[in-house]
């Protein structure tokens, strides 16, 4: 659409942030809920999608199968209310870690790569539980510590049933702000976003899950909470804040300018952001984009990545050129992939690594066409770190995996399209180079290794222990006061 070709991601971001400031959306409440905390990132992605700067991957499910699956899950969960995995089994006073349900299969176990390695660094006498929800309607197991994993989806199922019978609150007067925002979005972007549906759904979730989470936290009294992802966990964080329970997020992605799940450069506040943030390194937070003060940010490194670099042997003959895709972007590499084989010496092989979210029937024919051109299309579940160890170069757009490849020493190229601006900082550090076409690829380009320690803190064990002790002391003082 011609209207959507005129604004870059940067221009959309500037206008979007101006709207939220002018309307004071961070102070706005509907039904006494700070709704913008939950809706901000999704609304921005909806606008980017209309401008073809962003693509959602959504798997359509047969309606009958959807409700059959839901009914089966509800029955299964209610029957397991007293099982060993029930939240009721959490020992009072234990540290809770709300981990990632998207576990990775490795050495016969499903790993949460962000929280599991951290447990190796914590005091052995400390009580803790990893709390997680469903992944594609199932729980991935076995895990490294099965006896310490608790499933929270039964609580959310109670919330789901409650929503079906709960009377809708009368907040029509509060919702006038939605009309104002709708008008501003259309005026600035010529885009119709169904704001009312987005906000109404999030309010339904909030009003049913919030009291349930408050009840659970009151009952179990955790001294503090770790969580892997704050975006989508606003209800949990707010419930913890209401009870004075400190929360700390473990970095799992790549906070940067324009990623509005973390970027609050516009100056607005997020009421439901964690009290503390544990980053991979100073690089990620030194620009002050997070909505918390710098003295509440701790650089602890990326324990899982550090372990993988030590365990995976680099190949002596690193003659692979790795292409890293991400959800919705596979076909954007097509122009590059048509010309790259002509550019590279014949002894260099091209590997294309799809994102797991891109493995769907609509993409299979495209991947088959790449294979016919002599490009190696790897399985979505292949160990990415083994690919890093075999490769010498990598090309991507804005995936967090690119940073991990840099940690392995790969010469890194960023395909310059609208959304690759997220990678400006890494390019400015001399750790990557932008390319617009195959002709821009310089196989002799290499990264500056001196900058790596700034991105990934090396002393993870000591830093993690320091953070744990700090949170414990902080929680005790808060409890005493």
How do the domains of the chain map onto residue ranges? 1-302+458-481, 309-455
What distances in angstroms separate CA 167 from CA 118, 208, 425, one per listed residue?
43, 11, 49
pLDDT value, residue 316: 65
Residue with tokens 């959310």: 156
For the chain, the C-alpha Rg in angstroms (whole number) is 23
pLDDT value, residue 470: 95
For residue 131, what are the β-bridge partners?
A: 98, 150
Tokens representing residue 62 in the block: 């047969």
Q: Is 448 exposed, middle or buried (0-12, 13-18, 19+ CB in 10 A)?
A: exposed
34/149 Cα distance (integer angstroms): 31
Sheet containing 276-279: give its strands across. 149-151, 128-132, 95-98, 225-227, 247-250, 276-279, 297-299
Backbone torsion region of residue 220, taken as left when φ is above 0, otherwise alpha when ψ lies between -120 and 50, otherwise beta: alpha
| Contacts (Cβ under 8 Å, ≥6 apart) of 379 | none
Tokens representing residue 84 in the block: 């060993």
pLDDT value, residue 52: 73
| Contacts (Cβ under 8 Å, ≥6 apart) of 394 | 321, 322, 323, 324, 388, 402, 405, 410, 411, 412, 413
Q: Are 23 and 176 in contact (CB under 8 A)?
A: no
pLDDT value, residue 2: 43
Backbone angles phi, psi at 130, to 5 degrees: -95, 125
243/249 Cα distance (integer angstroms): 18
Domains 1-302+458-481 and 309-455 share a fold: yes
In order along its 481 residues, the chain shows pLDDT tens digits of: 444 457 888 899 999 999 999 999 999 999 899 999 999 999 999 999 888 765 544 444 444 444 445 555 655 665 566 678 888 889 999 999 999 888 888 889 999 999 998 888 888 788 999 999 877 778 888 998 888 899 988 888 777 777 777 766 667 778 899 999 999 999 999 999 999 999 999 998 999 999 999 999 999 999 999 999 999 999 999 999 999 999 999 999 889 888 999 999 999 999 999 999 999 999 999 989 999 999 999 999 998 888 888 888 666 678 899 999 987 777 888 889 999 999 899 999 999 998 877 777 667 788 888 888 889 998 877 888 989 999 999 999 988 899 999 988 899 999 998 778 889 989 988 899 999 999 999 999 987 777 777 889 888 889 999 999 999 999 998 877 7
Q: Is 72 exposed, middle or buried (0-12, 13-18, 19+ CB in 10 A)?
A: exposed
Query: 36-50 vs 195-220: helix axis angle to the nearest 10?
Result: 140
SS (H, E, C) 154-185: HHHHHHHHHHHHCCCCCCCCCCHHHHHHHHHH
Domain 1-302+458-481 in CATH 3.40.50.2000? The answer is yes
Class of domain 309-455: alpha beta
294/403 Cα distance (integer angstroms): 22
pLDDT value, residue 315: 66
pLDDT value, residue 181: 96
In the DSSP assignment, the letter for residue 358 is G
Q: Which long-range contacts (CB under 8 A, 24 or more apart) does 67-73 make?
A: 69/137, 73/134, 73/137, 73/153, 73/157
Task: Please tell me whether residue 432 adopts helix, strand or coil conformation.
Answer: coil
Short-list 411, 343, 405, 337, CA closest to 374: 337
Short-list 339, 353, 328, CA closest to 435: 339
Strand 109-111, strand 104-106: pairing: antiparallel
């Amino acid at each position: 659409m011609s209207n959507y070709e005129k604004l870059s991601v940067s221009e959309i971001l500037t206008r979007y942030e101006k709207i939220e400031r002018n309307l004071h959306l961070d102070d706005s409440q509907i039904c006494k809920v700070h709704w913008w905390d939950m809706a901000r990132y999704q609304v921005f992605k909806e606008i980017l999608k209309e401008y073809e700067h962003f693509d959602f991957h959504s798997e359509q499910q047969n309606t009958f199968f959807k409700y059959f699956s839901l009914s089966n899950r509800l029955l299964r969960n209610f029957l397991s209310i007293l099982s060993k995995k029930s939240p009721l089994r959490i020992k009072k006073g234990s540290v809770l870690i709300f981990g990632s349900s998207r576990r990775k299969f490795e050495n016969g176990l499903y790993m949460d790569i962000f929280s599991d390695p951290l447990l190796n660094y914590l005091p052995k006498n400390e009580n803790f539980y990893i709390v997680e929800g469903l992944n594609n309607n199932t729980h991935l197991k076995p895990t490294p510590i099965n006896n310490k994993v608790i499933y929270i989806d039964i609580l959310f199922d109670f919330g789901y049933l409650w929503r079906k019978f709960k009377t809708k609150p009368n907040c029509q007067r509060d919702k006038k702000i939605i009309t104002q925002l709708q008008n501003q979005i259309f005026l600035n972007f010529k885009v119709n976003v169904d704001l009312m549906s987005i906000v109404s759904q999030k309010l339904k979730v909030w009003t049913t899950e919030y009291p349930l989470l408050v009840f659970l936290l009151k009952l179990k009294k955790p001294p503090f909470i770790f969580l892997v992802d704050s975006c989508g966990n606003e209800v949990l964080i707010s419930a913890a804040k209401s009870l004075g329970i400190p929360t700390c997020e473990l970095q799992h992605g790549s906070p940067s300018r324009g990623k509005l799940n973390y970027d609050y450069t516009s100056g607005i506040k997020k009421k439901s952001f964690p009290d503390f943030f544990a980053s991979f390194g100073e690089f990620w937070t030194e620009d002050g984009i997070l909505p918390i003060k710098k003295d509440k940010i701790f650089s602890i490194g990326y324990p899982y990545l550090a372990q993988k670099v030590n365990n995976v042997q680099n190949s002596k003959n690193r003659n692979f050129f790795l292409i890293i895709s991400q959800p919705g972007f596979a076909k954007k590499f097509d122009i590059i992939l048509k010309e790259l084989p002509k550019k590279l010496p014949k002894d260099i092989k091209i590997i294309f690594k799809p994102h797991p979210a891109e493995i769907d029937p609509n993409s299979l024919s495209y991947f088959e066409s790449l294979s016919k051109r002599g490009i190696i299309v790897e399985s979505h579940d292949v160990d990415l770190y083994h690919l890093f160890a075999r490769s010498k170069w990598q090309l991507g757009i804005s995936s967090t995996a690119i940073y991990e490849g840099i940690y392995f020493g790969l010469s890194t190229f960023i395909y310059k399209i609208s959304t690759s601006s997220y990678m400006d900082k890494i390019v400015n550090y001399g750790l990557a180079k932008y390319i617009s076409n195959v002709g821009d690829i310089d196989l002799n380009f290499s990264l500056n290794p001196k900058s790596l320690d700034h991105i990934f803190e090396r002393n993870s064990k000591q830093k993690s222990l320091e953070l744990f002790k700090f949170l414990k002391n902080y929680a005790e003082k808060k409890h005493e006061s």
